[in-house]
Amino acid sequence: MESIIFSSSIKIDLRGFLSRQKYSRLGLIMDSNTFRDCYPLILDGLPDHDYYVFEAGEVNKNLTTCTKIWQWMTDLGLDRKALIINLGGGVTGDMGGFCASTYKRGISFINVPTTLLSQVDASVGGKLGIDFNGYKNHIGVFTEPLAVLISEEFLKTLPIEELRSGYAEVIKHGLIQHANYYSSLLIRGWENQDWKSIIEKSVSIKKEVVSKDPKEAGLRKILNFGHTIGHAFESFYLDTDRHLLHGEAIAIGMITEAYLSELKTGLSKDDVKLISDALIQIYGKFDFPEKDVKEIISLCSQDKKNEADRINFSLLSAIGKCEYNIPVALEEIAASITFYKSL
Ligand SMILES: NC(=O)c1ccc[n+]([C@@H]2O[C@H](COP(=O)([O-])OP(=O)(O)OC[C@H]3O[C@@H](n4cnc5c(N)ncnc54)[C@H](O)[C@@H]3O)[C@@H](O)[C@H]2O)c1
Ligand SMILES: [Zn+2]
């Protein structure tokens, strides 16, 4: 598994890490925002390097940008001993890692995640890739970075709605695996969390799950809690002015899937209420017209997690316990969305 370094001074720890590596040349990949806000935090003392900056945004996590990155690597004459640092959120890590792990059959890379989402989620598990013709993460590989250096210093410049979006994954980690962690999150307002300890705890939960099932044959599916319906909402509103951030969509997914958990895996009614109250308090309630529902439901079945014509869900049997491969009928999904609307 990748080695994860929790850093309280990214500049010093990155410099120290690099001084212990042997590489022919160093290249940084960043997006336009992390170039502006994060690069200055590591620049001082960084060894000789080149960099490539792409325009920020999920829309650019595609083959066109990869082609430019591979061309940049080629123009620099990077050989197989070169080292890449991906400095940015999940888009940069997924795409920069994908480009590195395919260039000349793979060169080493380090991820320095700069969003809460990429620190607690994308930093673990070795999934890399890009979107393709409208399909999310459609082309990709499993490759571990040489190391992941995580520092909360980057969160200072992260827009608050991006921080809140990443926090949905933190809540998910508590709900699927750790009841005490979940209740500890509710003690203070979400903006006032101790991010350092949250990142460490969430990473350890994800790491534990992934280490037991690296290729998602079984247990790892519990990380999809909230994501089957959440992704459907995310996709449906993607190119609209109602656009939802990933975590905002997953919050809707966790509420509707908590409802399904009561139906299918015995989550108590009280817990469904506790979960939905907490999530609505943080994310508010998303308002959408009834006419959208049919297509949202049909998007659930296009999720790549399904086998044959059943829609498999990962659902809670209690707070802190999650089961996977639970088949759910379309009418039940419809009922869960009606439940959300009724809140
Ligand atoms: N590989 C995995 O296991 C995994 C897991 C979860 C998500 N993902 C992928 O991650 C992506 C989403 O990640 P994300 O939310 O980090 O998106 P992102 O990389 O697009 O970052 C979100 C926004 O924040 C900006 N930003 C990043 N760090 C900043 C900082 N410190 N200060 C100011 N601005 C900053 C970015 O430029 C961008 O505009 C998706 O493509 C998703 O598929 C991958
Ligand atoms: Zn997610």
Residue 104: active-site member: no
Does residue 178 sit in the same domain as residue 105?
A: no
Alpha-carbon distance of 209 to 197, in angstroms, equals: 19
For residue 124, give the ligand 1 atom closest to its CA: 3
Q: Kindly report, residue by residue over 310-331, the tens digit of the pLDDT.
A: 799 999 999 999 999 999 999 9
Does residue 130 sit in the same domain as residue 47?
A: yes
The one catalytic residue in 127, 201, 221, 321 is: 127
- Residue 143's domain comprises 3-156
Q: Kindly report, residue by residue over 75-131, the tens digit of the pLDDT.
A: 999 999 999 999 999 999 999 999 999 999 999 999 999 999 999 999 999 999 999
Kind and range of the H or E run holding 315: strand 311-318
Does residue 8 sit in the same domain as residue 55?
A: yes
Neighbours of 343 (CB within 10 A): 12
pTM: 0.95
Question: What is the pLDDT at residue 2?
Answer: 65
Does residue 275 sit in the same domain as residue 220?
A: yes
Report the candidate in 338, 322, 320 with the shortest Cα–Cα distance to residue 330: 338
For residue 116, give the ligand 1 atom closest to its CA: 16
Does residue 182 sit in the same domain as residue 51?
A: no
Residue 243: active-site member: no
Alpha-carbon distance of 327 to 308, in angstroms, equals: 11
Does residue 76 sit in the same domain as residue 195?
A: no
Report the candidate in 67, 69, 170, 66 with the shortest Cα–Cα distance to residue 118: 170
Does residue 172 sit in the same domain as residue 316?
A: yes
Which of the ligands is closest to the CA of residue 172? 2
pLDDT above 90 covers a percentage of the chain that reads 89
Q: Kindly report, residue by residue over 206-263, the tens digit of the pLDDT.
A: 999 999 998 889 999 999 999 999 999 998 998 789 999 999 999 999 999 999 999 9
Does residue 177 sit in the same domain as residue 199?
A: yes
Report the candidate in 248, 218, 215 with the shortest Cα–Cα distance to residue 324: 218
| 319 CB-contact burial (10 Å; exposed 0-12 / middle 13-18 / buried 19+) | buried
Cα dihedral 183, 184, 190, 196 sign:
negative
Residue 285: active-site member: no
Does residue 77 sit in the same domain as residue 221?
A: no
User: Which residue's CA is minimally distant from atom 22 of ligand 1?
Assistant: 89
Q: What is the CATH number of the domain that holds 19?
A: 3.40.50.1970
Does residue 132 sit in the same domain as residue 181?
A: no
At CA 194, angle to CA 193 and CA 196, rounded to 5? 135
Asked if residues 156 and 38 have their Cβ atoms less than 8 Å apart, the reply is no
Alpha-carbon distance of 115 to 159, in angstroms, equals: 9
Mean pLDDT, residues 278-290: 97
> Which protein residues are within 6 Å of ligand 1, measured from CB?
31, 33-34, 37-38, 56, 58, 61, 88-92, 94, 114-115, 117-118, 121-122, 125, 127, 137, 154, 157-158, 162, 246
Report the candidate in 85, 131, 135 with the shortest Cα–Cα distance to residue 112: 85
Asked if residues 30 and 40 have their Cβ atoms less than 8 Å apart, the reply is no
Does residue 180 sit in the same domain as residue 143?
A: no
The residue from 156, 180, 207 where one domain ends is 156
128, β-bridge pairs: 141
Asked if residues 148 and 3 have their Cβ atoms less than 8 Å apart, the reply is yes
